[in-house]
Structure 1
């Protein structure tokens, strides 16, 4: 009997000893979004359709508030979110920044005071896709750089008869955007009401950054190099070439790829979409941060323009007078300590992780890029007034 008991104990011990250790998510995580916006007709909230709609209904203009990386006035912006599993109710934190930021020695991070802390999940990568209102009338979709409308274009969607399959054909939109900065109780952010400083002209974020706070592991520090600094503004120009419009810009060392999209109202009941993609894509999901792997995949598919691109033509038929946006995707930086093992089966228990996302966007109205009016000159009276961006988006989304 005793022998049987010993055997059972030994077997149990062997079972526990054979249980493999389990990898765990980072103890602490910081998200940093960097964005540069440019454009002569740049109202608040132009970075995304969601941001624009927010701007139409009272979003702050000119203030350095959290969320400006998702659509703001022309300038350079940074958002920061910090979290730690050791303190889900973290109220504050500190981010030490390099002297070149002109914000040194540190940024003060504070958590929103209202609401309950959001529990940390196994994966902090998921982010909901943007929602769009069902448009009215007809939608015409064009795509591809070139002077002429290509065979099989445009794709036309008639709202009066469209079913889900018709919507999918016209509103196909690639998207791989992962979790970035966000505002949630228990996760301190910058900027905030206590520290709402603007990023000064000529500031650089190159150098060492260090995060600290109650429950944040010691030694949470990393360096940003020139490739992951704030991106320069895009100088987007255009010229008339008869049946087409030529858009051009300067190369940018930090750009991994480019994408351009326009939307305009042809009349009260028709709106027109055009994108620079070689494959049909309405562009809703691509005008935002995208991870490196997705960018590389879409470059091969010619959905995105190569990093060395400086020009794209579009048929006038596909443009009209409307809003046009050009995005330069920066290189997303993902850091962790200790680093992830090369062996995917190896146990990994990181103390901290950092995600830095970069983009630069130019926004303006088609037909008005690079055109300056002489002082005192009045617009011709026989030409209709071009719709501004707010009126345009209200018409497109039936607001």
Structure 2
């Protein structure tokens, strides 16, 4: 019998941004996979902090392949998180009252696994109440009066709850979740929180009782770790990348593995390389990266044009505050790369905006920054580019593609036009 022919690897199997892990270019930076795996056994919540496309989801998939994943969006509540998590387990949650980490309502099975879970947990809690069951998957309904019942359902499922994009929750809902996390910890149900925030230990800031009960793990990349993406992926495709391409692509990805993956994919597209090479092949023409970056910026043009349109539309709907929002956006979007990555302080935004327009008051500007996230997202609550950290009072860039885009594209941001409109109306700057 003839041996099976080995499948030739294609570029898209090795490089690029993908929902599944591309194992040939996956880099376990600093043995982070093992570190997270160890933390999962320490009876603590885990918070994974890192910017968009930095590899949080790939890391989570590698370490927690069977996780119970809930994606947050702007406008979503903590109760929505529980509803979606239980929905994945075949259970519908109806809440009639919620306060102080306490829930009152019902859970009802909608699938066989939900029937089993509710029946088992109800017996543990000594409930007999309204449960009904037949030999098929007839609905099982149970009254609940404690968050512990929800915690037990999740824990009994054998899956770990992962709450992704935590930063999309508004400040009130983040605070509610932080207090619920203390209760969930008491119930021995440990959660993984994934999101973007610029300060350290945001959950402990929101609820000091989480001290020693949550471990925050920042996800960042060194230049050497980013270089390994070239090396491991290149080896899989029998490619050798030139040092000039490697150095500049790493500089232009702003410490972001996802952007780097897209740049490498673009370089290979420009080189006409679609699959694994038979002979070792050098990829060292810097013009390939020039073209890849320009094409990437052009591809992003529609993304940031839509971002600008959404923000502009939202600003125009703020009567008597158009000028404040517009001046704030003008100041933030003109900040340099390092400041946007680190976070531009409220005081800095105020000083610059006040120098541009003396009628702007700090209190009104702070209110504007607290609302700036809602201006950016689409109807589905996605598309965040800038985030305001209430704890540190800084605005930072969530989507670092913005930095590459404005480096290689001429950006006609509409903020100055909005300022002129406000001036023409003689806006009072009295309210945000």
Instruction: Verify same fold: TM over 0.5.
Output: no
**When you count strand as a share of all residues, which structure comes out higher?**
1
| Higher relative contact order, structure no. (Cα contacts within 8 Å, ≥ 6 residues apart) | 1
Smaller-chain TM-score range?
under 0.3
- Provide TM-score, normalisation by structure 2: 0.20
- Provide TM-score, normalisation by structure 1: 0.21
